[in-house]
Amino acid sequence: MTDKNPRPKPVHSITPAPVRDDAAHKGQVGRVFVIAGSRGMSGAACLAGAGALRSGAGLVRVLTPASVQHIVATSDPCLMTVPAPETKAGLIDWKKSRALLEESFEWASAAAIGPGLGQDDDLGDLVRFTCDRFAGPLIVDADGLNNIAPDGPDVWTVRDGRPTIITPHPGEIARLRRSAKLKKLHGADDDIRTQIAHEYAARTGVTTVLKGRRTVVATTESVYINTTGNPGMATGGMGDVLTGVIASLIGQGLDAFDAACLGVYCHGLSADMCRKRIGPVGYLARDVAEILPAALAQTSTARMGFKP
C-alpha cells in the first residue's frame, strides 16, 4: 500500500473561509446538522453546536436525546434542537428517530455525528445509516468512530466518494487501523504521526484528522501538519468544538481537506489567543469556541502561509 500511495510532502499553505457575499442570508452560508449527546454527555452536543455557530454556520440544528434537549437548547439560543426518542440508557433510539434524521438530512449542507453519542450496537447502526443516507459532506468523530471501529475500512465504501472527514485521537485511530489490518505504529514525532494518518486515509479514501500536538490532516494525495495550539487544550470538550468548526467550514463550501486544515488551524489559534488572554491552563473548550470569530478574522487573507 505504501508503495502505491507514497506519503506526500506536507503543504504549508491553506485556503481561508469563503468571502461572504454582501447579500448572503443564513440559509446560504451553511446549514449544519449535528447528531450528538446522551444522558450525562449533553455538553458534547452543546460544544459541537457552539463550534459550528462561532465559525460562521448560518444555521445549526442538533439532534440529541429528548431528556437532554433542554440542556442543549438553553446552552445557546441560536441553536436549533431536535428532541430524539431515546433508550432507557439515555442514548438516541435511532430506529424511532429515523424520520427525524431523514428530514434533517434533506435540510443540511453538512453533518457531523459522534460527540457524546455513547456506545451501543444500535448506535453503530445509526452511524452506518448516516454514512449511507446523508448525501452531503460528513464529519465522524469520537463515539461515531468507536461504534464502527470493529467494522473495518469497508464501512466507508457506502460514502461512494462523498466528502467524509474523521477526527480521531491516537487511541481511536489505533482501533481503526487495527480493524483495517494496518501495522501497529507508535510515536509522537511528525513523521510517525503523518504515516499513521496517511496510511489510513490511503486505505479508506476518507480525510483523516489525527488530533494531538501538531495535528495531522491527511488524504491520499495531501498532508498538512498544524502549527497552532498549546498544552492548555488538554481538557474536555476541545475535540467537540473542532468537530463543529470543520462541519461549519465544509458547510460553507470548502472541500474536505481545506475545511479540515483551516479548522484545525483556527481551533489551535483560538486556544493560543485564550492562553494570552486568560492563562496557559484553565481556559475551557467553550472559551475556545467563543474566540473563534477573532481567530477566523486573523486568517481572512487571500492565501495563508505557514512555516513547515
Sheet with 138-141, edge to edge strand ranges: 10-11, 223-225, 216-218, 207-210, 164-167, 138-141, 110-113, 31-35, 59-65, 80-84
Distance, in Å, from the CA atom of 64 to the CA atom of 156, rounded to the nearest integer, reads 24
The per-residue pLDDT for range 210-228, each reduced to its tens digit, is 999 999 999 999 999 999 9
pLDDT surpasses 70 at 65:
yes
Instruction: Specify the pLDDT at position 154.
Output: 93
Confidence of residue 1 (pLDDT cuts 50, 70, 90): very low
Mean pLDDT of the chain: 94
Instruction: Specify the pLDDT at position 4.
Output: 67
Query: Across 41-173, where does the E strand assignment appear?
Result: 59-65, 80-84, 110-113, 138-141, 164-167
Average pLDDT of the segment spanning 235-251: 98
Which of 57, 3, 13, 59 is CA-nearest to residue 257? 13
**Radius of gyration (Cα) for the chain, nearest Å?**
18
Class of domain 30-296: alpha beta
The per-residue pLDDT for range 9-28, each reduced to its tens digit, is 888 778 887 788 889 999 99
Which ranges of 108-237 does DSSP label H, i.e. alpha helix? 121-133, 143-146, 170-179, 190-204
Q: What percent of the chain clears pLDDT 90, i.e. is strictly above it?
A: 88
The per-residue pLDDT for range 96-113, each reduced to its tens digit, is 999 999 999 999 999 999
The per-residue pLDDT for range 269-301, each reduced to its tens digit, is 999 999 999 999 999 999 999 999 999 998 875
Distance, in Å, from the CA atom of 126 to the CA atom of 141, rounded to the nearest integer, reads 13
Instruction: Specify the pLDDT at position 18.
Output: 77
At 140 the three-state DSSP class reads strand
pLDDT surpasses 90 at 114:
yes
Confidence of residue 308 (pLDDT cuts 50, 70, 90): very low
Domain ranges of the chain: 30-296
